[in-house]
Amino acid sequence: FRDFEVNGGSAKTSKKTSSNKISYEEKKAADKSRRKLERKVAQLEEAIERAEKDIQQMDEQLRDPAFYKEVANDSAFFSKYEARKQEVEQLFEDYEKATNELNLLS
């Protein structure tokens, strides 16, 4: 009877330890995912800022009548302009997705 109590008690302890270890591993994995998403959000914020700054500079250039006359028939400039705008839209979508995922982890 005494062996049963001792073995039963140690079995409960090992289950508890195993459960704590799983919880620790799960917490560690969740923290890693959260940090990864935080870095991704920060990188997306920087990329959005750079792309918007580029678009703003292009807009300012287009306001100059002399520059506009130069590039009016230059499809490469306007292709780059449109590509940059689409890039900003995609970055915002990625940013929204990443922040939503981050909020779910928090």
Per residue in 59-98, pLDDT tens?
999 999 999 999 988 899 999 999 999 999 999 999 999 9
11-19 own/partner pairs: CB under 8 Å, 24+ apart: none
CATH 1.10.287 fits domain 2-105? yes
- The more confident residue out of 7 and 87 is 87
* pTM for this model (two decimals): 0.72
Tallying the residues shown for the chain, one arrives at 106
Instruction: Report phi then psi at 72, rounded to 5.
Output: -55, -35
